[in-house]
Each structure stands twice: as C-alpha cells, then as structure tokens.
C-alpha cells in the first residue's frame, strides 16, 4: 500500500505536492505533542521563533516532495533546479583537480543537491538505510548511475576517502546525529549537540569544502541551489574543526530558517553515549 502511494505521489505536480505538504506539516504539528515540543524547543533555542509558522508548513513540504525526487527520472528531477548560485566554486575545484566535500544540512530540499551534481559527475553520498524495509528500495531506485551510496560504517568511510582522494565529490548531512563513539558534544545554537567529526576528518584530504542547500521556491516553482565556501580555513584539533563546521551550519540556517527541519532531534543522546556536559 505505502509503495503504491509513493508512486502515485511521484506523478503529482510539484505545486500540488507542496500544498498537500503544507497541510501535512500542520497536521503533524497538531497531532504529536513530542514533535511539537522538540520543534518549539529547537527553534526558540536558536532565536528564530519568528519563522515558526512557515517552518511548520515547510517541514511537511519536505516530506511530500520526496517521492518526486526519488522516483522520477533524474533529468526531470534536475530540471526542477531552476537557479544555481555559487557554481563557480565547483568549477574551480574541478580545474584544480581537487575532490569536493558537500555539506548539506537538513535545510530546504537536501535530496536534490546530490542529484543535481550527479547529473554532471560522480558523487558518493553517506547513506543510512531507513528502518522501514519497504522504503529502502524506493530510495535506492531513484539514484542515477553517478550517484553512489556509502553505508554509514567503516566500509562507507573508506569509500568516501577513496572518492575524495580520487578527485571526486562526496555529500553528507553534517547535522545528522552520529552513532555512539562517532561524534563529540559541541555547541550548536548555544546548546551541546552530539556532532559528527567525520566531516572534519574528510576535510584533511585537501578537498574543497562547500556548504550547500536547495531553497524551496514559492508555489512549487522549483529550487534554487546555493553553494558557499567556508568562511575561514579549518584549523585546530578535530574538535575545534568540527565546532567550526557547526558554526558554518548555523550561518547557513540563518539564511533560510523557515526551511530547516527544527523537528529533527539534533540534541538527542545516542544509545550508549555519555550525556552532554552540564
């Protein structure tokens, strides 16, 4: 039933999906006290409560657009990106023969960014197989030949390193809560968040590090892909570099707070991990 629903949704026009998504966002907000509590706590913590109503609707849009991103042909998905800013940064990395590390947080349509790049050159994306068994084949079906998946384990890290050292691109969600032993408690909007250190480690390869997100345009008009360099070179030990990346993420979220997934529990304690410092 659910796979059939996903395939049906994938055939609907994007404006329809975004309208349905806005409604779904408000239904989720009204029906789940836990979701409502997490969402409110996180957006207030970040000082962006002014964006709350818009963010509730945008969260629903991010869910309802996924079938179209995953299940439609790649050329159709890529055509939804109607504007790109900062692409010269990619071309500079190509000219220098350097790998590219794309850091794409839970902001805007984060699924379309890798698809856009994969239509041009190979990219390897860090991937956690979903817990829902029926969902994994649908996600994996929608990948083009140049979009490769690396599991979130040691073998996947080896693939990411190999890709970067070979001058290829890698994509990851830097604000995803890592598993036990794979992160450090570092500030994110003024509160300790268990933060992955993998991105800071991968940057040691000499790859060009780019912050990226695809802003969802009004009325289902498509997406504006935006690319930014780091504000400063990564310096210090591993924790210092990972903390700097958190600050870079904060700056990115401030550009478009209404499209950040505030309901995602960024501050949870992974199973087996020590609680954050007081």
Reported as a single tens digit per residue, the pLDDT across 22-76 is: 999 999 999 999 999 999 999 999 999 999 999 999 999 999 999 999 888 889 9
- Within a domain: 69: no
Q: CB of 74 within 8 A of CB of 144?
A: yes
In this prediction, residue 133 carries a pLDDT of: 67
The tally of domains found in the chain comes to 1
Residue 274 burial (10 A CB sphere; 0-12, 13-18, 19+): exposed
pLDDT at 89: 98
Integer angstrom CA distances of residue 275 from 4, 43, 191, 193, 238: 41, 22, 13, 10, 20
d(C-alpha 141, C-alpha 189), whole Å: 36
Within-domain flag for 46: no
Residue 138 placed within a domain = yes
27 lies in a domain?
A: no
Residue 114's domain spans which residues?
74-256
Question: 207 lies in a domain?
Answer: yes
**Residue 182 covered by a domain:** yes
In-domain check, residue 140: yes
Residue 6 covered by a domain? no
The per-residue pLDDT for range 76-116, each reduced to its tens digit, is 999 999 999 999 999 999 999 999 999 999 999 999 999 99
């Amino acid at each position: 039933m659910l796979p059939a629903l996903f395939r049906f949704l994938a055939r609907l026009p994007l404006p329809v999906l975004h309208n349905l998504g806005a409604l779904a966002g408000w239904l989720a907000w009204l029906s789940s006290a836990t979701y409502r509590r997490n969402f409110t706590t996180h957006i207030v913590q970040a000082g962006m409560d002014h964006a709350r109503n818009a963010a509730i609707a945008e969260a629903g849009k991010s869910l309802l657009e996924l079938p179209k991103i995953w299940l439609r042909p790649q050329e159709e998905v890529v055509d939804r990106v109607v504007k790109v800013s900062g692409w010269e940064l990619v071309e500079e990395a190509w000219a220098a023969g350097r790998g590219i590390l794309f850091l794409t947080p839970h902001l805007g349509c984060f699924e379309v960014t890798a698809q856009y790049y994969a239509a041009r050159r190979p990219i390897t994306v860090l991937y956690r197989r979903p817990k829902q068994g029926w969902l994994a084949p649908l996600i994996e079906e929608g990948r083009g030949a140049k979009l490769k998946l690396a599991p979130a384990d040691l073998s996947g890290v080896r693939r990411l390193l190999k890709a970067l050292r070979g001058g290829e691109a890698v994509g990851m969600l830097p604000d995803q809560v890592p598993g036990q032993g794979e992160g450090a408690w570092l500030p994110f909007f003024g509160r300790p968040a268990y933060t992955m250190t993998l991105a800071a480690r991968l940057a040691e390869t000499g790859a060009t590090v780019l912050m990226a997100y695809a802003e969802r345009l009004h009325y289902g008009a498509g997406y504006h892909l935006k690319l930014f360099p780091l504000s400063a070179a990564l310096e210090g030990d591993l924790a210092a570099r990972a903390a700097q990346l958190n600050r870079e993420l904060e700056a990115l979220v401030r550009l478009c707070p209404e499209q950040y997934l505030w309901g995602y529990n960024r501050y949870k304690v992974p199973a087996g991990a020590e609680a954050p410092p007081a």
